[in-house]
A and B are shown apart, each in its own frame.
Chain A
Amino acid sequence: MNHVITALVENQPGVLARVVGLISGRGFNIDSLNVAPQPDATASLMTIQVLGDDRVLEQVTKQLNKLVDVVKVSDLTTKSFIEREVVMLKVAVPTAKRGELRDLVAITGAEIVAVQAKSVVVSMVGDRKKLAEFVELLKQFTILEMSRSGVIAVSSDEADRETTKRKTSPSKRGGMTK
């Protein structure tokens, strides 16, 4: 099953290696990984998307919790959560087809973020399903480059909030997703 795991960790060198080492050491491939600071800059949140056996991943979550630099681990897959991801695509579009691309972008709620002589950069925010559909649609043009942020997620479970509550001052880097 596809799992989305978040880990609140100390914002220190070596922590990423510990977390990733624990997961990869068991033969799991990490599909996406996002790390960004928290409002309290001494902590970071990792969001890890990984495919694997539920029982083994439960063990992985327990092991992650044991790491001294890991403050809190949640396997969001076991509860309700909201996810977003950003994709940016550089697409080669002949001038004649630019109108078509613009329409597509408008309909899907994506955004044109840069226009160059022979290419256009578009971006979109959404869940994995929405992004996958969008990328599929864009395949009618020539995709030159694609970059995705990896899934980020928050639990929509009320009970989960009290343990992670922090000052909700807007994070400066939060702008990265928009």
Chain B
Amino acid sequence: MGFFIVMAGARGVKETACVVERVKMRSGAKCIIDSLEQAGVTTIFGLPGGTVLDLFAELYHSPIKFVLSRHEQGATHMADGYARATGRPGCCIATSGPGATNTITGLATANMDGVPLVCICGQVPSTMIGNDAFQEADTTGISRGVTKHNYLVKNVDDIPRVVAEAFYVATSGKPGPVLIDVPKDVQQGQTKVDRMPDGVPAMRGYRPASTGHPKQIVRLAEAINKAKRPLFYVGGGVIAGNASQELMAVVRKAQVPVTTTLMGLGSFPETDPLSLRMLGMHGSVAANHAVTECDLLVSIGARFDDRVTGKISEFAPGATVAHVDIDPSTISKSVGVDIPVVGDVKLVLAALLDQVEAKERTDWLKTIAEWQRDFPFGYETSSEELLPQYVVEQIYRATQGKAIIVTDVGQNQMWSAQFFKYTAPRTFLSSGGLGTMGFGLPAAIGAQIGKPDDVVFNISGDGGVQMNFQELVVAVEHELPINVVILNNGCLGMVRQWQEMFYKKEYSGSQLGQSGRGENEGISSSRSGYLPDFVALAKAHGAEAERVSARSEVADAIQRAIGSKRTNVIEFIVKGDANVYPMVPPGASLTEMIHSMS
């Protein structure tokens, strides 16, 4: 309400001013680009088409850098990777119809992981909406379930307000993607509405939580002070909320060990003795034991995902459960919570610091240290074949842990989580919630554009990398020194692993086209059954590329790639049936971990 009054006031001022100076009319398209500039957008990812020609005409004259993807899904993942790496909202543009529908997977990916995106789509002219016009799709209808919010702009005068709201909604509370659908005639319409209103848009239906309730924070502090075996279970919310320093301060003072979710990797340094590393289905033994043994579990910016909890009834069975989250709807969603604290994790942790007592917790930390010592992440090293885990370890070694690792989904993702120790937020980028294969390569491009001085590795499998391989040309075109690592095991590895473990070793649909692969391990330059030939494919896209199948060549190849400062693809021919361990079978409790098939 207040907002509308302000708008009316602003218009009033403008109209008075008009008496003195001529009314400045702008097109809707110009208004959008101006608003994006005002919102601080410096890079837009996307692909043009009929209904966004007006936008592109304005973009041409704007200082905003445009990155042309080769598929709209790629553009959304690029904007997503950019946002995850930098913490700034990502922005992308697509045309109506197929352009808009191609963004859906990218939007859903960002939505599940709480990544701030603003996606602008063209739409057919207002008068044609609903007429099955050429390249028409019900974009707001289709995207409703995969965005935090969306808009169909029907009046050109609304543009500055809508863009301001979109960025506010995308970046505040639990962040997420916002889509703005703009019909072509609205882009072409003229408006005299001034620039975006400054400050926080007043939206009576949207008031994200900020400070936690003081009484709840007191209860939480008391619980931590009283607990004998407390554990922090930290998720992506700490990264999204830029709360790593606050977390570290509380952990240091109260000596509470920390386990993170996949999305929380990097929120707390994994090299720290208090880090139990990742928990859950493929988590560490120490983390999963600690969850089961703790007497207080404090979830901070995590949402008790089923891949984390295992069997709910046996998750943290003896623990008081506390949950700090900015999103009230995640509280007690799957696991009952005794101490809910709804608020911004950064503010809650800052408030908590003064109230927690300095402790030593010698016994608890000793037990944990024993688990850590006895059950580190490991793999069968006796194999003659090149093992994917070894490749990830070598990347860790070569970069000394100082790189942005962008994974795809599946085994490559889990090995990247297990065999690389993350010490800083925003250095592990992965599609956690939706599990989108094909995310890695375009997201790495977005990350490198946002962080031009960082070393960026994309670790993918041979399955997922093919899903958006076309985007490799974008990296080459923009001279991005991305290192694309393909762990080629000739199959959809995680699917294969489940089939081996739970589906009678019948590898239905999970084998990728590499006939005769076994005897071609010492691959020559001939094609010999490799489908596709990733080295040739990468070169066709203009990237440097090589194939490595011997253990002894791994470290050098990685060094060469980093040193070249060019877009690199390294295809590692790895053992075809390597599995991710430990593994908590679906539906089992966290302590029922499988450590190997034998």
Which residues of A are interface residues toward B (Cβ below 8 A)?
A: 9-10, 13-14, 17-18, 21, 25, 40, 42, 59, 62-63, 65-71
Contact with A along B150-161 (1 / 0, CB 8 A): 001000000000
Say whether A66 contacts B327, CB under 8 Å.
Answer: yes
One of B100-108, B201-209, B430-438, B492-500 at the interface: B201-209
Say whether A71 contacts B329, CB under 8 Å.
Answer: no
Which residues in A have their C-beta under 8 angstroms from that of B141?
Answer: 17
Which residues in A have their C-beta under 8 angstroms from that of B327?
Answer: 66
The answer to whether the Cβ of B241 comes within 8 Å of any Cβ in the partner chain is: no
Say whether B145 contacts A21, CB under 8 Å.
Answer: yes
Give the size range of B's interface with the partner.
10 to 19
Task: Give Cα A13–Cα B169 distance, bound, in whole angstroms.
Answer: 19
Given known A-B contacts A59-B333, A63-B329, A65-B329, A70 and B152 have beta carbons under 8 A apart: no
Say whether A68 contacts B206, CB under 8 Å.
Answer: yes
Task: Give Cα A173–Cα B145 distance, bound, in whole angstroms.
Answer: 32
Given known A-B contacts A10-B205, A14-B140, A66 and B329 have beta carbons under 8 A apart: yes
Say whether A68 contacts B203, CB under 8 Å.
Answer: yes
Say whether A67 contacts B328, CB under 8 Å.
Answer: no
Q: Which of A62, A65, A68 contacts B149 (CB 8 A)?
A: A68
Which residues of B are interface residues toward A (Cβ below 8 A)?
A: 1, 4, 140-141, 144-145, 148-149, 152, 169, 203-206, 327-329, 333
CB B104 to nearest CB in A, in angstroms, measures 15
Beyond A10-B205, A14-B152, A66-B327, 17 extra complex contacts between A and B, CB < 8 Å: A17-B141, A17-B144, A18-B144, A21-B145, A25-B145, A40-B1, A42-B1, A62-B328, A62-B329, A66-B329, A67-B205, A68-B149, A68-B169, A69-B149, A69-B205, A71-B204, A71-B205
Which residues in A have their C-beta under 8 angstroms from that of B169?
Answer: 68
Closest to A9 in B: B205
Which residues in B have their C-beta under 8 angstroms from that of A40?
Answer: 1
Say whether A68 contacts B205, CB under 8 Å.
Answer: yes
Residue with the greatest number of chain A CB neighbours at <10 A, chosen from B4, B145, B148, B329: B329
CB B201 to nearest CB in A, in angstroms, measures 11
Closest to A59 in B: B333
Per CB-CB distance, the 10 closest pairs between chain A and chain B, nearest first, are A62-B329, A68-B149, A71-B205, A68-B206, A71-B204, A70-B205, A69-B205, A63-B329, A68-B205, A66-B329
Task: Give Cα A65–Cα B331 distance, bound, in whole angstroms.
Answer: 14
Which residues in B have their C-beta under 8 angstroms from that of A10?
Answer: 205
Q: Which of A9, A13, A42 contacts B152 (CB 8 A)?
A: A13
CB B512 to nearest CB in A, in angstroms, measures 35
CB B171 to nearest CB in A, in angstroms, measures 13
Which residues in B have their C-beta under 8 angstroms from that of A25?
Answer: 145
Which residues in B have their C-beta under 8 angstroms from that of A71?
Answer: 204-205
Q: Which of A21, A42, A62, A66 contacts B144 (CB 8 A)?
A: A21
Task: Give Cα A113–Cα B205 distance, bound, in whole angstroms.
Answer: 40
Given known A-B contacts A13-B152, A14-B140, A68-B169, A59 and B329 have beta carbons under 8 A apart: yes
Which residues in B have their C-beta under 8 angstroms from that of A13?
Answer: 152
CB B162 to nearest CB in A, in angstroms, measures 12
Closest to B150 in A: A14
Task: Give Cα A18–Cα B169 distance, bound, in whole angstroms.
Answer: 16
Which residues in A have their C-beta under 8 angstroms from that of B206?
Answer: 68
CB A15 to nearest CB in B, in angstroms, measures 9
Task: Give Cα A12–Cα B292 distance, bound, in whole angstroms.
Answer: 48
Task: Give Cα A66–Cα B204 distance, bound, in whole angstroms.
Answer: 12
A-B contact pairs, 29 of them (CB 8 A): A9-B205, A10-B205, A14-B152, A17-B144, A18-B144, A21-B144, A25-B145, A40-B1, A59-B329, A59-B333, A62-B328, A62-B329, A63-B329, A65-B328, A65-B329, A66-B327, A66-B328, A66-B329, A67-B149, A68-B148, A68-B149, A68-B169, A68-B203, A68-B205, A68-B206, A69-B149, A70-B205, A71-B204, A71-B205
CB A74 to nearest CB in B, in angstroms, measures 14
Which residues in A have their C-beta under 8 angstroms from that of B328?
Answer: 62, 65-66
Closest to A69 in B: B205
Task: Give Cα A9–Cα B140 distance, bound, in whole angstroms.
Answer: 18
Task: Give Cα A40–Cα B149 distance, bound, in whole angstroms.
Answer: 23
Residue with the greatest number of chain B CB neighbours at <10 A, chosen from A21, A63, A67, A68: A68
CB A86 to nearest CB in B, in angstroms, measures 29
Which residues in B have their C-beta under 8 angstroms from that of A21?
Answer: 144-145
Task: Give Cα A42–Cα B3 distance, bound, in whole angstroms.
Answer: 12
Task: Give Cα A63–Cα B271 distance, bound, in whole angstroms.
Answer: 38
Which residues in B have their C-beta under 8 angstroms from that of A68?
Answer: 148-149, 169, 203, 205-206
Which residues in B have their C-beta under 8 angstroms from that of A69?
Answer: 149, 205
CB B22 to nearest CB in A, in angstroms, measures 33
Which residues in A have their C-beta under 8 angstroms from that of B4?
Answer: 42
Which residues in A have their C-beta under 8 angstroms from that of B148?
Answer: 68
Task: Give Cα A70–Cα B140 distance, bound, in whole angstroms.
Answer: 17
Task: Give Cα A1–Cα B440 distance, bound, in whole angstroms.
Answer: 45
Closest to B141 in A: A17
Which residues in A have their C-beta under 8 angstroms from that of B203?
Answer: 68
Residue with the greatest number of chain B CB neighbours at <10 A, chosen from A40, A42, A59, A63: A59
Residue with the greatest number of chain B CB neighbours at <10 A, chosen from A13, A14, A63: A14
Which residues in B have their C-beta under 8 angstroms from that of A17?
Answer: 141, 144
Which residues in B have their C-beta under 8 angstroms from that of A18?
Answer: 144
CB B167 to nearest CB in A, in angstroms, measures 13
Which residues in A have their C-beta under 8 angstroms from that of B329?
Answer: 59, 62-63, 65-66
Residue with the greatest number of chain A CB neighbours at <10 A, chosen from B140, B149, B205: B205
Which residues in A have their C-beta under 8 angstroms from that of B145?
Answer: 21, 25
Task: Give Cα A26–Cα B526 distance, bound, in whole angstroms.
Answer: 53
Task: Give Cα A63–Cα B327 distance, bound, in whole angstroms.
Answer: 10
Closest to B165 in A: A68
